[in-house]
């Protein structure tokens, strides 16, 4: 399987002379963000510059300031600008660089993905520093080739996740001021600082011999998109390790809090389910009715109550009681409706039989003499009155015509 093409990473960070002290504190692992430092790894290794490079650089910058200040005072004196001389002496020396957002110096970072450094040529070899040494040699050569003596310091960091190299560039230049050449700091004196895309091309070609490639051409992609009227890709912003870890810790804390809430919700649901089951068991065992009221039982029973004493205070108990009450209400309503329908059917059947019997009596009476028909009609009236007094819902079905003294003979 072919090895993945990893890009060489080059990044420039703006740097002020006042940042050198913090840079050195972090180099010695005595200050700054140390959360990503691995204590069991070797300490950073110095590659370029003396051990006192920081003091030397600051002293050189101070010398630039005072030499330029002295040249300015001499020029003012030559032009007889006494008032301006007094004013400038009160103000003191000025910084020997043009004010800018990034500062006059640059910190260079060179690295690659840690997977590239961890790759070994042999499957029997778990870890090798061969790639780190090859990368280091090329990095030092590239820095010297493009920045010369302005690379005042470089080091290799070995105690972080991925091997990388830090370098500090102090871009020296001279300008004609106050009738003489004055030393200044001017980042644009180096073409690779002035043109970031050219720097990426340069480092990509330089490290290609060890299998690394140039990074993504994002600025070119942005220009092409703008020229074509398309939405350009979002500008990638470098996130410092401290910022990334703070954001990651916040994300993990929020995830843990969300997980804890879900776990509490699951536990509460389990408790509610147990309360519902206990309620159902208690109802089926005859310990409580559907409303949750205890049913009197023999106190000598050996069967313990299946409903806990504090069950009535739980949400599950309340939910179960509500469900059982609703179910009982529906069952009773259904039973009453069924009984009413059954009673109505019985009454309708009785009335139908009475009508049939009455029709038969009328039919028989039509064939009898007038006197007998009159007597049968009177009997029918008394019989109807007695039937109306009966309640079929409690008396049941009709037992047929009354065979008492008023029945026809």
- Written as one string, the DSSP assignment of 50-63 is -TTHHHHHHHHHHH
Q: What burial class does residue 257 get, using C-beta atoms within 10 Å of its C-beta: 0-12 exposed, 13-18 middle, 19+ buried?
A: exposed
Query: What pLDDT, on a 0 to 100 scale, did the predictor assign at position 249?
Result: 66
Query: What pLDDT, on a 0 to 100 scale, did the predictor assign at position 36?
Result: 64
**What is the pTM (predicted TM-score) of this model?**
0.56
- Please, what's the b/e burial string for 31-49 (b: 16 or more CB within 10 A of its CB; e: otherwise)? eeeeeebeeeeeebeebbb
Query: What pLDDT, on a 0 to 100 scale, did the predictor assign at position 311?
Result: 45
Element (H, E) at 405: none
In a 3-state reduction of DSSP, which class is residue 16?
Answer: coil
Rounded-to-integer distance, Cα 31 and Cα 403, Å: 120
How many angstroms separate the Cα of 402 from the Cα of each of 21, 346, 387, 389, 398?
Answer: 125, 20, 10, 14, 10
How many angstroms separate the Cα of 361 from the Cα of each of 383, 398, 408?
Answer: 12, 17, 11
Rounded-to-integer distance, Cα 181 and Cα 179, Å: 7
How many angstroms separate the Cα of 50 from the Cα of each of 35, 69, 155?
Answer: 27, 28, 11
What is the pLDDT tens value at each position of the chain, 409 positions in all? Answer: 456 788 999 999 999 999 999 998 888 877 666 666 666 777 889 999 999 999 999 999 999 999 999 999 999 999 999 999 999 999 999 999 999 999 999 999 999 988 888 876 654 455 568 889 999 999 999 999 999 999 999 999 887 878 999 999 999 999 999 989 999 999 999 999 999 999 999 999 999 999 999 877 766 666 666 676 777 666 666 555 556 556 666 777 778 778 888 888 887 777 777 777 777 777 767 777 766 677 766 544 555 555 554 444 566 667 767 777 777 777 777 777 777 787 778 777 777 777 777 777 777 777 777 777 777 777 777 766 666 665 554 455 444 444 444 444 4
Rounded-to-integer distance, Cα 138 and Cα 206, Å: 8
Instruction: Report, in this order, helix, strand and coil percent for the chain, each rounded to 5.
Output: 55, 10, 30
Element (H, E) at 256: helix 241-284
Rounded-to-integer distance, Cα 108 and Cα 391, Å: 108
Q: Say which residues have a Cβ less than 8 Å from residue 253's Cβ, sequence separation at least 6.
A: none
In this structure, are residues 158 and 44 in contact, taking their beta carbons and an 8 Å threshold?
yes
Query: What is the DSSP code string of 337-391?
Result: HHHHHHHHHHHHHHHHHHHHHHHHHHHHHTTS-HHHHHHHHHHHHHHHHHHHH--
In a 3-state reduction of DSSP, which class is residue 398?
Answer: coil
Query: What pLDDT, on a 0 to 100 scale, did the predictor assign at position 326?
Result: 75
Query: 48 pairs with which residues across the strands?
Result: 154
Element (H, E) at 102: none
Element (H, E) at 330: helix 315-365
Rounded-to-integer distance, Cα 250 and Cα 245, Å: 8
Query: What pLDDT, on a 0 to 100 scale, did the predictor assign at position 238?
Result: 54
Work out the number of other CB atoms within 10 angstroms of the CB of residue 324. Answer: 19
Q: What burial class does residue 340 get, using C-beta atoms within 10 Å of its C-beta: 0-12 exposed, 13-18 middle, 19+ buried?
A: exposed
Chain mean position to CA 118: 31
Report the Cα–Cα distance between both ends of the chain, in Å, rounded. 119
Q: For 224-291, list the strands marked E by DSSP.
A: none
Rounded-to-integer distance, Cα 171 and Cα 64, Å: 13
How many angstroms separate the Cα of 76 from the Cα of each of 28, 70, 80?
Answer: 45, 10, 6
Element (H, E) at 46: strand 45-48
In this structure, are residues 294 and 288 in contact, taking their beta carbons and an 8 Å threshold?
yes
């Amino acid at each position: 399987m072919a090895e993945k093409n990893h890009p060489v990473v080059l990044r420039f960070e703006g740097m002020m002379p006042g940042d050198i002290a913090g840079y050195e504190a972090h180099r010695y692992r005595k200050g700054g963000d140390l959360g990503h430092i691995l204590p069991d790894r070797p300490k950073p290794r110095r590659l370029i510059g003396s051990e006192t490079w920081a003091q030397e650089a600051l002293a050189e910058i101070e010398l630039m300031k005072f030499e330029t200040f002295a040249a300015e005072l001499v020029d003012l004196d030559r032009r007889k600008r006494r008032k301006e001389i007094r004013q400038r002496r009160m103000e003191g020396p000025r910084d020997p660089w043009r004010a800018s957002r990034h500062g006059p110096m640059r910190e260079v970072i060179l690295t690659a993905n840690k997977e590239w450094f961890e790759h070994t040529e042999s499957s029997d070899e778990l870890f090798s520093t061969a790639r780190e040494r090859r990368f280091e040699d090329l990095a030092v050569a590239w820095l010297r080739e493009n920045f010369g003596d302005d690379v005042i310091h470089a080091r290799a960091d070995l105690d972080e996740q991925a091997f990388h190299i830090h370098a500090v560039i102090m871009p020296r230049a001279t300008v004609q001021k106050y009738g003489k050449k004055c030393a200044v700091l001017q980042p644009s004196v180096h073409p690779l600082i002035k043109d970031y895309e050219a720097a990426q091309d340069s480092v990509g070609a330089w490290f290609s011999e060890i299998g690394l490639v140039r990074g993504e051409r994002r600025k070119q992609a942005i220009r092409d998109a703008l020229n074509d009227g398309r939405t350009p890709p979002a500008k990638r912003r470098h996130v410092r390790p401290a910022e990334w870890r703070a954001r990651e810790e916040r994300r993990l804390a929020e995830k843990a809090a969300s997980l804890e809430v879900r776990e509490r919700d699951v536990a509460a649901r389990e408790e509610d389910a147990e309360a519902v089951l206990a309620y159902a068991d208690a109802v089926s065992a005859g310990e409580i009715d559907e409303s949750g009221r205890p049913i009197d039982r023999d106190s000598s029973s050996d069967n313990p109550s299946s409903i806990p004493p504090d069950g009535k205070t739980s949400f599950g108990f309340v939910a179960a009681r509500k469900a059982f009450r609703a179910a009982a209400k529906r069952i009773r309503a259904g039973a009453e409706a069924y009984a009413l329908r059954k009673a109505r059917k019985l009454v309708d059947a009785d009335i139908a039989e009475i009508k049939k019997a009455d029709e038969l009596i009328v039919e028989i009476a039509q064939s009898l003499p007038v006197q007998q028909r009159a007597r049968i009609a009177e009997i029918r009236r008394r019989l109807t009155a007695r039937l109306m007094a009966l309640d079929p819902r409690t008396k049941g079905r009709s037992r047929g015509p009354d065979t008492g003294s008023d029945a026809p003979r």
